[in-house]
Amino acid sequence: MSSTPRSGSGSQAALRGLNTAALVRTLTAAGPQLQADLARVTGLSRATVSNIVGLESAAGRMRTERVLRDGRWGVRVSLVPEDWIVVGIDVGRTHLRVAGCDTARRTFGDREVALDQGHAPEDTLRLASQLLDELVADAGFERAQVRRCGLAVPASIGRDGAVVQQSVLRQWSGQDLASFASGALGIDVVVDNDANLGALAHAASAPGGNDGTLVYLKVASGIGAGIAIGSEVYRSTSGLVGELGHVRVVDGGQTCYCGSRGCLETIASTRSVVADFERAHGGHAVLDDVLAAAAQDDAVALRIVAEAGDALGRVLAVVCNLLSPDVLVLGGPLASVGKPLLDAVVASARKRALPAAIARTRFRVSEFEPRAEVLGACLLALQASGIAQGTITTK
């Protein structure tokens, strides 16, 4: 880093602090500037400006974009104003979760409410809007400071922005969801599949960045995976990715809502696990009953969870053979069972995958559960607003 005529300190760090302050002053006074102009105005070398802008961008305090000026490409630098925030919404079959996130990637005020199955998009978004108003106000922001909203849905989004068919949210199919939600919320909305956003949340939070392949498997009423390769979420042209819930694991098994038989979801989804628990124990149950029974070492509950884990591992063995991922994160409500599920998944996958393909794969239960999807939605909204990926923290 080069020095400047202004600074008398010998310390590199002190020098960088002075130089950074000079850039911030200029950007505050004059607004966004070309990097080349910043060097000229401040008298700092181009290398110094470039270094500082790089460090500040990585820390989320500056933002750069390539712009065309007089027929040449330049880099325009802006301060990331601390006075705007983004919000994330995670819509499931029977839940709605919202959270806020500031430009330093600190999340705040997340809250969840239960929804009736078959909830209508307009009702759900109206409710989300109310919840967002509350959490924004509680955090001391104005609604006008909400720059963008990330929306996680248990459905695939095509390149045209429409929800692709065969979602567990049938009533949302075919919608141009981003436009619809933008209209309903009065905020710019970016939308993505919930498992993709779960993968994004975990990849962004890997210490030093995600340097390999991370697979996030969400086990809820549906079962889907998101894939992050380095810092990028894998996306297909069709919009569908990670539809592991509809891999056949039992020939001639139960009929699935997709029309096929013996799909993974007929054994390992929360719906199937609860139904199995009801059949075995008799009477009505919800997932919390299964989780509580498993926590108390109830043999029936543990066996049902182990069967689900075995089926999940059978499919994940194929994923390991194909992609040899570095990290495999189990998320979604069933992952709350913890060790009994994880152990069954790992044993089943290791038994079936080629040893060398799975040897390096680190399996774990999501540390963000049940917030992974809404955190991913916040990160997506930050990304769309020009803030690079990085570790997300809780305020």
Contact 152, 89 (CB under 8 A): yes
- The one-character DSSP state at 248 is B
Residue among 64, 107, 124, 156 that touches a second copy (CB under 8 A): 156
What is the C-alpha separation between 19 and 384, in angstroms, rounded? 29
Using the Cα atoms of residue 96, residue 100, residue 106 and residue 108 in order, give the sign of their dihedral: negative
Interaction of residue 260 with a second copy, rule CB under 8 A: yes
Going from the C-alpha of 141 to that of each of 127, 135, 201, the distances in angstroms are: 19, 9, 24
Residue among 165, 179, 254, 393 that touches a second copy (CB under 8 A): 165
238 vs 391, beta carbon nearer a second copy: 238
Interaction of residue 300 with a second copy, rule CB under 8 A: no
CA angle 342–234–104, rounded 5-degree value = 85
Burial of 196 (0-12, 13-18, 19+ CB in 10 A): buried
Residue among 110, 243, 298, 373 that touches a second copy (CB under 8 A): 243
What is the C-alpha separation between 266 and 254, in angstroms, rounded? 6
What is the C-alpha separation between 98 and 76, in angstroms, rounded? 33
Residue among 8, 10, 29, 237 that touches a second copy (CB under 8 A): 237
Interaction of residue 254 with a second copy, rule CB under 8 A: no
36 vs 300, beta carbon nearer a second copy: 36
What secondary structure does DSSP assign to 307-370, as a single string? HHHHHHHHHHHHHHHHH--SEEEEESGGGGG-HHHHHHHHHHHHHHS-HHHHTT-EEEE-SSTT
Residue among 31, 71, 207, 208 that touches a second copy (CB under 8 A): 71
Interaction of residue 221 with a second copy, rule CB under 8 A: no
Interaction of residue 178 with a second copy, rule CB under 8 A: no
CB of 301 vs a second copy, minimal distance in Å:
26
Residue among 3, 166, 171, 231 that touches a second copy (CB under 8 A): 166
280 vs 323, beta carbon nearer a second copy: 323
Interaction of residue 244 with a second copy, rule CB under 8 A: yes
Positions that interact with a second copy (CB under 8 A):
45-47, 71-72, 156, 164-166, 211-213, 225, 227, 229, 234, 236-244, 246-248, 258, 260, 315, 317-319, 321-326, 352-357, 359-360
